[in-house]
Chains A and B, each alone.
Chain A
Amino acid sequence: ETGVTQSPTHLIKTRGQQVTLRCSSQSGHNTVSWYQQALGQGPQFIFQYYREEENGRGNFPPRFSGLQFPNYSSELNVNALELDDSALYLCASSQGETQYFGPGTRLLVL
């Protein structure tokens, strides 16, 4: 198992609400990436943070935002939740190319 942790493990929200997901990186890793994995699909890149700065973004609207803290932990915030936001949200930490995934947060939007 990797040293990447995420919280919470599961979350249920209603449309229009806001959610914050958290990720703790593996020790020594300064980069964190966030992915959305819909049921039966591969993970889709949301964005990446390197040393507290956004370092690339996928095709997701601005209501998906993030933060990285000095200890390299990270948050993913999603505003104005939509039904299609229901998915497994994965963070991955890295030092270099290789990315190690956390267990994910399963979000259900009703």
Chain B
Amino acid sequence: GENVEQHPSTLSVQEGDSAVIKCTYSDSASNYFPWYKQELGKRPQLIIDIRSNVGEKKDQRIAVTLNKTAKHFSLHITETQPEDSAVYFCAASEGNKLTFGGGTRVLVKP
């Protein structure tokens, strides 16, 4: 089955700096890669996703890149703000299920 590795597990950045989270996946059949943000005690919230026929996607301060050959994808957050502090999960989809990475706890220091 699919296996998703996510790094780093924790990330501390100064407000205004960029944050980068990296994920690798094992199943070349995976073709959909969403990113979720989960604040303490709340539901995972979809923030951006990318499909395997696209190499990069951007939405305001958030961008995701995908390298199918290397089987890795990354989340980039620019101009970080305190409200970006949360746990971020990457996931890969093979057919009907999402396989999640272990999460990255991001702390944005004002």
Contacts and interface: CB of A to CB of B under 8 A. Distances in A.
The answer to whether A and B assemble together is: yes
Interface of A: 2, 4, 31, 33, 35, 40-45, 48, 50, 55-56, 58-59, 90, 92, 97-104
Nearest to A57: B97
B43 interface: yes
Contacts, number: 57
A104 B99 contact: no
Interface stretch (B44-52, B53-61, B72-80): B44-52
A42 B100 contact: yes
Contact of B34 (A44, A50, A59, A99): A99
A103 B46 contact: no
Size band of the B side of the interface?
Answer: 20 to 34
B49 to A, nearest CB: 7
Contact of A58 (B51, B89, B97): B97
Contacts of A55: 96
B96 A2 contact: no
Given A55-B96, A56-B97, A98 B44 contact: no
A40 B104 CA distance: 10
A52 to B, nearest CB: 15
B95 A43 contact: no
Interface string B1-16: 1001010000000000
